[in-house]
C-alpha cells in the first residue's frame, strides 16, 4: 500500500486479486456477515455489466494488517479503485446497486 498526496493506492498482491482494466470494486467481508453475501451479489453483477471492472473480495479476518492500515471498521466495506489502484470512493454497509454504478461512473 502506498500513499501519495493523501491518496491510498493498493496493489494486486495486497488485494490477492487482479485489478480491473478500468476500475476495481474491493469488498471487505467476514464469514458470518449476512449483508456481505448480498453485497457480493450486487458487486459481482455490476462488475459483470461494466467492461474493465473487476470485483475482489477480501476476507477481513485473514487480512487483519490490511484492515487496520485502511481503518476498516465494519463489514461489508467497499472501496472503489481506479485503474491505477487508487482508492477513489469508500462506503461501509450494504451498497445499493445504483450507488455502485454512480461511483463507478466517476472513475471509468
Q: How many CB atoms lie within 10 A of CB 44?
A: 14
Q: What is the block-wise mean pLDDT of the chain (108 residues), using blocks of 10 residues?
A: 70 94 97 96 97 97 95 97 95 96 90
**Residue written as grid cell 465494519:** 74
- Contacts with 62 (C-beta within 8 Å, 6 or more apart), sequence order: none
User: Of 66, 8, 4, nearest to 27 (Cα)?
Assistant: 66
- At residue 106, the pLDDT reads 85
92 with 77: CB under 8 angstroms?
A: yes
Say what the pLDDT of residue 22 is: 97
**What pLDDT shows up at residue 45?**
97
Amino acid at each position: 500500500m502506498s500513499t501519495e498526496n493523501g491518496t491510498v493506492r493498493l496493489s494486486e498482491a495486497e488485494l490477492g486479486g487482479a485489478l480491473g482494466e478500468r476500475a476495481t470494486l474491493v469488498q471487505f467481508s467476514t464469514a458470518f456477515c449476512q449483508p456481505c453475501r448480498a453485497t457480493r451479489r450486487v458487486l459481482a453483477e455490476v462488475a459483470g455489466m461494466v467492461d474493465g471492472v473487476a470485483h475482489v473480495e477480501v476476507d477481513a479476518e485473514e487480512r487483519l494488517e490490511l484492515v487496520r492500515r485502511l481503518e476498516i471498521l465494519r463489514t461489508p466495506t467497499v472501496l472503489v479503485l481506479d485503474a491505477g489502484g487508487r482508492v477513489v470512493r469508500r462506503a461501509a454497509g450494504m451498497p445499493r446497486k445504483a450507488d455502485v454504478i454512480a461511483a463507478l461512473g466517476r472513475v471509468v
